[in-house]
Amino acid sequence: MLHPLVQMEGIDKYFPGVQALSNCQFELLPGEVHALVGENGAGKSTMMKILTGIYQKDGGSLLLKGKEVQIPDTKTAQLLGISIIHQELNLIPDLTIAQNMFIGREPRKKLRFLVDEKKMNDDTSALLEQLNLSMDPRMKISELSVAKQQMIEIAKALSFNSEVLIMDEPTAALTETEINELFRMIEKLRHNGVGIVYISHRMEELRRISDRITVMRDGRYITTVKTQGTSMDTIISLMVGREIVVEKRPSLPAGSKRAVLQVSNLSRGSAFKDINFTVHAGEIVGVAGLMGAGRTEMARAIFGADRMDAGEVYVDGKLVNIRGTHDAVKHGIGYLSEDRKRYGLVVDMELGANIALPSLKKFRNRFGWMKDGRIEQVSGQYVESLKIKTPSVQQKAKFLSGGNQQKVVIGKWLHRDCQILIFDEPTRGIDVGAKSEIYALLEDLAKQGKAILMISSELPEILRLSHRVLVMCEGRITGELPGELANQEEIMKLATSRH
């Protein structure tokens, strides 16, 4: 009999104050794409970190091809033919693509044992080629967009020629074309008998790519089903254990004409050009476009995180000079970034401090002391209203699941009380249940009169929330649609229309 590649049975895992996994199971067959789904904090990543030797299980057994094994560290996992693409990017920014690819296993020259840079770069190019990426292997990781970094992670995982490949939200930052490339690779690997574990919150991807789906909830195994013949609605209700109501699109805010944010002729090199738009009080303006259309670059420039060559920003009708993020914050502009690790979260700090950090002043008493109790109280409120899954507000941010980290970033900016909020992919990596909570939250903020600019690559999200939609293509705004007239086809047309 052909053994499954992987059998995990009765798996338990405890962290201080959290039982992350309780009696969980998972099975992977050769040539199978097996999706693992569940809400944020359900235990998906933890399960896979046990399989890759990052964490040690507290109970249960792990079998590879029918034989019980111990996986005390990541090196052992690699030797056993298991590799993982992590949810959080793990590349070293100051090293080149090739150095990252071969870190710890650099090819050496025969003589004198020097690193063979040429071979390393050539091999890297070949690996990138497989994914149809043409990038210079000597480029530093820090020069690459999040999407490109993700592709490098994928190429790296492929380079181990593993029999078991785990993808923890591989597509969160990818463009349509990149996703297609990835799926083509997955098909090829599957054909060669590789087993693939696929973790994603995007239901339509699961339907497209997976053979079976295992559902987890609250650290427990719920069930495993064949993708064919199971509706995604069934999967969602298994995941959340309750019904999710999909609300209608909001109606336009009543009579709001106050321009809160206005930008005029913003330009920087080829990143973005002649950007003009206005966001009114109480309005959610969606920014659609393909990845690489210049949306994040534009947003970062408005927030002062990057420079701009030309253009003006008006807040409440007054011209403001934004030379750094500090100025932006002073004028009440908040930016929730797509890359929470780099711009949003101090992972070694406690959850409570992360929420409080940007508004420390509020927390000092008149002698300048930090009011710990107050930090706890306030961050506790956000833990509750955002449903952040954590044992306490003292938990370090790095110990939260990916989606819960995102919620902490949102909490932090909510607390700053900005009048202008720029959301860059606000629900990336967030489960369906929490998504609808975040949507409600955005709508609430708009009702309070805040001006919201929301960049999103998920069209349903844009259509669901925007009062007005701006579409960008190759650094320019190619169209503007009123929310009630916007639809998928119109937006895609504008998103791909060149000048």
Ligand X SMILES: Nc1ncnc2c1ncn2[C@@H]1O[C@H](COP(=O)(O)OP(=O)(O)OP(=O)(O)O)[C@@H](O)[C@H]1O
CA 195 from centroid of its chain's CA atoms: 24
Residue 56, CA distances (Å) to 47, 60, 157, 168, 317 in order: 10, 11, 21, 18, 57
- Residue 46 within binding range of Mg ion, rule CB under 5 A: no
- Cβ of residue 43: shortest distance to Mg ion, in angstroms? 8
For residue 424, which of 461, 374, 375, 376 has the smallest C-alpha distance? 461
- Residue 335 within binding range of ligand X, rule CB under 6 A: no
- Residue 43 within binding range of ligand X, rule CB under 6 A: yes
- Residue 46 within binding range of ligand X, rule CB under 6 A: yes
- Report the residue number, 297 or 425, with the smaller CB distance to ligand X: 425
Contact yes or no for 285/234 (Cβ under 8 A): no
- Could you give the CA distance from residue 339 to residue 52 in angstroms, rounded to a whole number? 24
The span of 33-41, 151-159, 377-385, 466-474 binding ligand X (CB under 6 A) equals 33-41
Where in 64-123 is the site for Mg ion (CB under 5 A)? 87
- Size of the residue set binding ligand X (CB under 6 A): 21
Of all residues in this chain, which one has the CB nearest to Mg ion in the complex? Answer: 45
Q: 375: how many CB neighbours lie within 10 A of its CB?
A: 21
- Cβ of residue 162: shortest distance to Mg ion, in angstroms? 20
Chain position carrying tokens 């009708």: 317
For residue 429, which of 297, 337, 492, 333 has the smallest C-alpha distance? 337
Q: Which two tokens stand for residue 289?
A: 């476009």
- Residue 52 within binding range of ligand X, rule CB under 6 A: no
Q: Which of 24, 35, 42, 454 binds ligand X (CB under 6 A)?
A: 42
- Residue 14 within binding range of ligand X, rule CB under 6 A: no
Q: Which two tokens stand for residue 256?
A: 């709001």
- Residue 436 within binding range of Mg ion, rule CB under 5 A: no
Q: Which of 219, 334, 402, 426 binds Mg ion (CB under 5 A)?
A: 402
- Report the residue number, 201 or 450, with the smaller CB distance to ligand X: 201
Q: Which of 7, 22, 78, 87 binds ligand X (CB under 6 A)?
A: 87
Q: Which of 273, 389, 412, 467 binds ligand X (CB under 6 A)?
A: 389
The span of 38-46, 97-105, 229-237, 363-371 binding ligand X (CB under 6 A) equals 38-46
Contact yes or no for 182/33 (Cβ under 8 A): no
- Report the residue number, 335 or 399, with the smaller CB distance to ligand X: 399
Secondary structure (3-state) at 296: helix
**Which amino acid is it at 400?**
L
- Residue 45 within binding range of Mg ion, rule CB under 5 A: yes
- Cβ of residue 70: shortest distance to ligand X, in angstroms? 20
The span of 35-43, 363-371, 374-382, 445-453 binding ligand X (CB under 6 A) equals 35-43
Looking at residue 240, what DSSP letter applies? Answer: H
Secondary structure (3-state) at 262: strand
- Cβ of residue 331: shortest distance to ligand X, in angstroms? 33
DSSP, residue by residue, 488-499:
HHHHHHHHT---
Q: Which of 7, 22, 41, 212 binds ligand X (CB under 6 A)?
A: 41
- Could you give the CA distance from residue 374 to residue 66 in angstroms, rounded to a whole number? 54
Q: Which two tokens stand for residue 71?
A: 């996986």
Where in 398-427 is the site for ligand X (CB under 6 A)? 399-404
- Cβ of residue 184: shortest distance to Mg ion, in angstroms? 25
89 binds, among ligand X, Mg ion, none (CB under 5 to 8 A by kind): none
- Report the residue number, 223 or 488, with the smaller CB distance to ligand X: 223
Q: Which of 5, 18, 155, 185 binds ligand X (CB under 6 A)?
A: 18
Contact yes or no for 35/199 (Cβ under 8 A): yes
Element (H or E) spanning 232, and its range?
helix 232-240
- Report the residue number, 404 or 466, with the smaller CB distance to ligand X: 404
- Could you give the CA distance from residue 149 to residue 252 in angstroms, rounded to a whole number? 38
Tell me whether strands 310-315 and 318-320 are parallel, antiparallel or unpaired. Answer: antiparallel
- Report the residue number, 162 or 401, with the smaller CB distance to Mg ion: 401
- Residue 40 within binding range of ligand X, rule CB under 6 A: yes
Chain position carrying tokens 């999103």: 456
Residue 275, CA distances (Å) to 10, 42, 88, 138, 472 in order: 56, 41, 32, 33, 9
- Report the residue number, 162 or 390, with the smaller CB distance to ligand X: 390
- Report the residue number, 20 or 62, with the smaller CB distance to ligand X: 20
Which residues lie near ligand X (CB under 6 A)?
A: 15, 18, 20, 38, 40-46, 87, 389-390, 399-404, 431
Which residues lie near Mg ion (CB under 5 A)?
A: 45, 87, 401-402
